[in-house]
Structure 1
Amino acid sequence: MRRVSTRVLPEPAPATTSSGPCGCVTASSWAGLSPSSIRSSSSRATIGRHPTGGLRPPRGQRLGYAAVPRAFRFSVSAAAPRPAAEWRELGRRAEDLGFSTLSMPDHLDAEMAPLIALAVTAQATRNLKLATLVLGNDYRHPAFLHKQAATLDLLSDGRLELGIGAGWQSSDYDRAGIPLDRPGVRIERLTEAVTVLKGLFAEGPFHFDGEHYTIDGLEGQPECVQQPHPPIIIAGGGKRVLSLAAQEANIVGLNANMYAGVIDQRAGPSATPAATDEKLGWVREAAGDRFGEIELQTRVHIATITDDPQSMADLMAPALGIEPEDALASPHVLAGSVGQCVETLLAWRERWGISYVGISEDAMVEFAPVVEALAGV
């Protein structure tokens, strides 16, 4: 018999309680900037400075890993409704272009339901991983989420990556009439949900008596293919949720901090290289000995192939509330020629250990040469 009592992380000072736990912001939603508008404004073939300037750490200092870095892999994020044939074709195209994963967000906007849509993708593809990036914990009880996740992992022959977050987008809560608790409460609930999910993925009846969830002898079924459970993704921009991710997740996403519940200038300063250094420090400290087992991920919200990355940075920096140099060096912005983008990604991995990179569907074909150059390297 497995019996678990609740364990809640201590709540930090107000400056670090924000969760920012979702890795599903689209390029077009980030401060109202779309890749198409950026490309049109930087279409002149003026060679800009190399976007990786200043990214590399001092000689001998590698912030993100201690030994051999992980090989690169890439995900494409998509969610817009479309006929089944087109959705299946998207998955096949992503797989053929070398992407390892199709990821989906979880909001009440004009998006398809992720677990259902990913099941369709599983039927149409061979090896493509299926990621929720990320599910809002407050939208589903973890016992029911476990059953859905285990079923998808079983029917996809073990291809699910289960991303879950504390929830952040205030419009989801407002429109659905779900109480939007303060970040600390949402992260407490997420902490318990992860404990419940792992308990149900294990063998035998599971018991849990927490502040937010109670499980009385439930045995998790069906049994999933990946053991002990599908890889768990937790992404965030605040210290508390990243500490949870470091302790519990297989994949940790380094995000901007969306504490305001919307995407605006308040998120920009937490997307800079210096802010990412700080986040990685939180992850390393909380992970302890398991840090080397963690895969580090980032979601690139603005991605474009251009010969003039500086003009793009000058355009978007005011909307992000940061300097152009910080915008170009952010791990959430990828801009430049194919060669420059390859160098940028190598610099990210050297400085932060980031090896799992997500981009939006509208950049999938454009970035295929970058994926071809680095996937598996």
Structure 2
Amino acid sequence: MSDISGGPYKRPFRFNIQCSSPEQVDARSWAALARRVEDLGFATLTVSDHLDEQVAPIASLMAAADATTTLRIGSMVFSNDYRHPVVLAKEAATLDALSGGRFELGLGAGWMTSDYQRAGLTLDPPGVRIARLAEALTVIKGMFADAPLTHTGTFYQVNGLNGTPKPVQRPHPPIVIGGGGRRMLTLAAREADIIGLNMNMASGVIDSSLGANATTDATEEKVGWIREAAGARWDELTLQVRVHMVVVTEDRESVAALLASGFGLTTEQALTTPHALCGSVDEICDALVERRERFGISTIGVALDALDALTPVVARLAGT
């Protein structure tokens, strides 16, 4: 077990819900969904940035903020390859300003091959995409700063541009970067405020090949990479995880066996992976507390279809 004593595991639990694909896309139902998420105790409503059957993030996040008072909004995550960082910085600062400082800026290098193929975009090798994201972060943070930005890099050139408006949260909204490989997690440890422990998405698809990267051993290794790269920043970081399956059941062994068979895991691995939750409400709460103590994971993200199932857990653990 990694020694994470004094690290981010002391942070209270927060729960995020990804609302990228609601059943209805209209103003009234979207506002009602945002208010329900807020009323149920979730901390943040997030929207992803893909080109398939999902709502667009910027407009939908602003509408969610308008419909609520305390709910935070976040991109999970903007794909750097789809958006020039100067333009994204202006959008992010405006979202933060108009939401009263409730925005969380999630950024990624891009990974879903179908997005690139269908839109006719070039999918560069992972190293190129990650290097471009690292430079984009420099540009975005420079646009949030008080002084005009001049930047000459490999991918971007900015000539004395002063980013406006400035975000309400200073020096910038919380930056969220997730990853499953060492390069992305190293970048996140150096640049982000919130780090997502993901499965390694280098293949560009979600399938059974991801199972081995979802185990507790793999998670242990990822936390080690983050701590090594973060150095003195370690105590300032928040760790989060995306949970891909939530099942409230009194027969967790049977559910875990089904999950294991689909992802090439043992039943024990399926029961303990941070990317799934199954069992009674008590068992799920106990599992989350154990994972926070072991790995430092305090923020839990789930899909919209898990809203009802996770609500009793949120009621018990949020803020503790």
Q: TM-score w.r.t. structure 1 length?
A: 0.83
The Cα of 1:228 is off from its aligned counterpart by 0.5
Pairing 1:12-31 to 2, within 5 Å after superposition = none
Alignment of 1:307 with 2:259, yes or no, is no
Alignment of 1:101 with 2:59, yes or no, is no
3-state SS of the aligned residue for 1:110? coil
Alignment of 1:118 with 2:118, yes or no, is no
Equivalent pairs, count: 318
CA contact (8 A) 1:103 1:132 kept: yes
3-state SS of the aligned residue for 1:367? helix
Identity of aligned residues (%): 52
Distance 1:68 1:264 in 2: 30
Paired residue for 1:284?
A: 227
CA contact (8 A) 1:64 1:352 kept: no
3-state SS of the aligned residue for 2:206? coil
Paired residue for 2:155?
A: 212
CA contact (8 A) 1:349 1:355 kept: yes
3-state SS of the aligned residue for 1:185? helix
Distance 2:306 2:184 in 1: 29
Q: Deviations over 1:27-74 (max 9, x none)?
A: xxxxxxxxxxxxxxxxxxxxxxxxxxxxxx5xxx64374487001110
3-state SS of the aligned residue for 2:309? coil
CA contact (8 A) 2:8 2:238 kept: no
Paired residue for 2:296?
A: 353
Q: Tell me which stretches of 4 or more aligned residues in structure 1 moved more than 3 Å.
A: 61-68
Q: Deviations over 1:336-357 (max 9, x none)?
A: 1000010000001000010000
The Cα of 1:304 is off from its aligned counterpart by 1.2
Paired residue for 1:316?
A: 259
Higher helix fraction (1 or 2): 2
Distance 2:235 2:294 in 1: 15
Q: Deviations over 1:167-190 (max 9, x none)?
A: 110000001111000000000000
Paired residue for 2:314?
A: 371
**Equivalent of 1:179, from 110, 122, 128?**
122
**Letter aligned with residue 20 of structure 2:** A
**Letter aligned with residue 97 of structure 2:** L
3-state SS of the aligned residue for 1:93? helix
3-state SS of the aligned residue for 1:365? helix
Pairing 1:1-377 to 2, within 5 Å after superposition = 57=1, 62-63=3-4, 65-66=6-7, 69-81=10-22, 82-377=25-320
The Cα of 1:80 is off from its aligned counterpart by 1.6
3-state SS of the aligned residue for 1:208? strand
Unaligned runs of 5+ in 2: none
Q: TM-score w.r.t. structure 2 length?
A: 0.97
**Letter aligned with residue 128 of structure 1:** L
**CA 1:321–1:356 in structure 2 vs 1: closer, same or farther (change >3 Å)?**
same
CA contact (8 A) 2:47 2:76 kept: yes
3-state SS of the aligned residue for 1:366? helix
**CA 1:343–1:229 in structure 2 vs 1: closer, same or farther (change >3 Å)?**
same
